Amino acid sequence: MTGPVAGPVTGPAPLRVGVVGVGMMGADHAVRLAGRAANATLVAVADPDVDRAERLASSFEGVRAFADPLELVADDGVDAVVIASPGFVHEEQVLACIAAGKHALCEKPLTMDAESSLRVVEAERAAGRHLVQVGFMRRFDPEYVAMKAMLDAGDLGRLLLVHNVHRNKTVPDGFLSEMIVRDSLVHEVDVCRWLFGEEIVEITVHSPAPTSEAADGVVDPQVAVFRMAGGGMATSEVFVKCGVGYEVRCEATGEHGNATVGLGSGVLVRSANRWGGSIPDDFRVRFAQAYDAEVQSWVDATRRGEVTGPTAWDGYAATVVCEAGMESLRTGSPMKVSLA
């Protein structure tokens, strides 16, 4: 897409980034931008919980705190925005970035439903250029990247099946069945679209007997089955109160071999008559390298005026699949997926 908007940030000046929403993930990105990202500088944070924003801002030098995320987006001292606020405010914040001609890295889900995600795609189209990247960080994890390269090179032959495992140690009781689809399974939706290079055309979300740890009425674990446009299939176990630790695995089965990522084969320790390694508590640890690479690649692309990571369309497609997944969870039936 081409068109009139603020030009790319080039030359030696670092990209001045503001982070909107500074809960767990936003604070993690703020630290990354302030300390580890090259050619970027953290200049502002915003959160309706202004004490939280001020506390975080004061842990860095020269970072301003805003109570209103939209004020941060409009501020002339901010070149680009990382959106890590809750999903239900993403639409207005992403649209504000597009209206201001600013690049945004928006955490998943892009928005809460298909219609609003499509509005984002359309706003970008009207602006005449891509400005939005969606935070599907698995695409930047070194193991996933290696597996994708192997598949694209044809080393495993045609991809037939993908099997995902996605387990969180725990989540708050307010994390309902639909959130397991929209906030957790959404990653596997993106992984499968990316690995196959095809759309998902049907989704079924099965409800096994829940763990006794699940809050009343919450379906945890869930097993999702995707049918891909080319006939391939994928399965995903999502279990958000597994109690063990954060485990994400993906096995791709091709005609001539298979590849697995996420076996966690780090340091092997023998002590006190036991042997083994450790399992991280949460995604910030498991995907630390992926988040670093994701943010760096977003900074670099933004400075060139480009979007090279998962686009608003990818965010929209994932939202459509998850919406169908939530319907399947309610009805127990397979749901067809159709994109605009």
Say how far apart CA 136 and CA 150 lie, in whole Å.
20
Give the dihedral sign, CA 240/260/230/315. positive
- Buried/exposed code over 193-217 (b: 16+ C-beta within 10 A; e: otherwise): bbbbeebbbbbbbeeeebeeebeee
Question: Of all residues in this chain, which one has the CB nearest to ligand ISE in the complex?
Answer: 184
For ligand ISE, the closer CB: 102 or 286: 286
For ligand ISE, the closer CB: 245 or 305: 245
Instruction: Say if CB 246 and CB 24 are below 8 A apart.
Output: no
Residue 8 beta carbon to ligand ISE: minimum distance, rounded to whole angstroms: 29
Say how far apart CA 57 and CA 35 lie, in whole Å.
13
Binding interface with ligand ISE (CB under 6 A): 168, 183-184, 187, 240, 283
Q: Which residue has the tokens 């689809």?
A: 181
Say how far apart CA 303 and CA 301 lie, in whole Å.
5
Say how far apart CA 171 and CA 64 lie, in whole Å.
31
Residue 107 beta carbon to ligand ISE: minimum distance, rounded to whole angstroms: 7
Residue 240 beta carbon to ligand ISE: minimum distance, rounded to whole angstroms: 6
For ligand ISE, the closer CB: 91 or 183: 183
Q: Which tokens sit at 1?
A: 């897409």
Residue 175 beta carbon to ligand ISE: minimum distance, rounded to whole angstroms: 7
Whats the size of the chain, residue-wise?
Answer: 340
Give the dihedral sign, CA 150/152/154/159. positive
Residue 5 beta carbon to ligand ISE: minimum distance, rounded to whole angstroms: 30
For ligand ISE, the closer CB: 168 or 302: 168
Residue 183 beta carbon to ligand ISE: minimum distance, rounded to whole angstroms: 4
Say how far apart CA 190 and CA 273 lie, in whole Å.
41
3-state SS assignment for residue 291: helix
Strands (E) in 63-147, as ranges, are: 64-66, 80-83, 103-106, 132-134
Beta bridge partners of 134: 106
Residue 284 beta carbon to ligand ISE: minimum distance, rounded to whole angstroms: 9
